[in-house]
Amino acid sequence: MPRETSSVIPRRIGELLQSDTALLTRLRRAGFRLNAKVAVRRVNGTVRIGTGQHATELDRAAAAQVYITAD
């Protein structure tokens, strides 16, 4: 993934994340929806999802559980 902000389309969330309701809530607030375009950016070894005050960051392990396609 490039360092600059780009957009992706999330297609699936891995089973390990599906039970983490706090994380799913953060993702929803950041504008994350399956099959809908969302802004992403790499930041210091994490992946930032969304923009503005509701953006959230995922560590590498969590980000690996989000399956995407490029926009």
Q: Give the model confidence (pLDDT) of 11-45 as tens digits.
A: 999 999 999 999 999 999 999 999 999 999 998 89
User: Residue 71 has what pLDDT?
Assistant: 78
Alpha-carbon distance values, 57 to 8, 44, 53 (Å): 15, 10, 12
CATH code 2.30.30.90 for 6-70: yes
Q: Where do the structural domains in the chain lie, given as residue ranges?
A: 6-70
In whole angstroms, what is the distance from residue 5 CA to residue 21 CA? Answer: 26
pLDDT at 2 over 80: no
Residue 4 has pLDDT above 80, yes or no: no
Instruction: Give the residue-averaged pLDDT of 46-63.
Output: 94
pLDDT in tens, 40-54: 999 889 999 998 999
**Kind of pairing between the strands at 6-13 and 38-43:** antiparallel
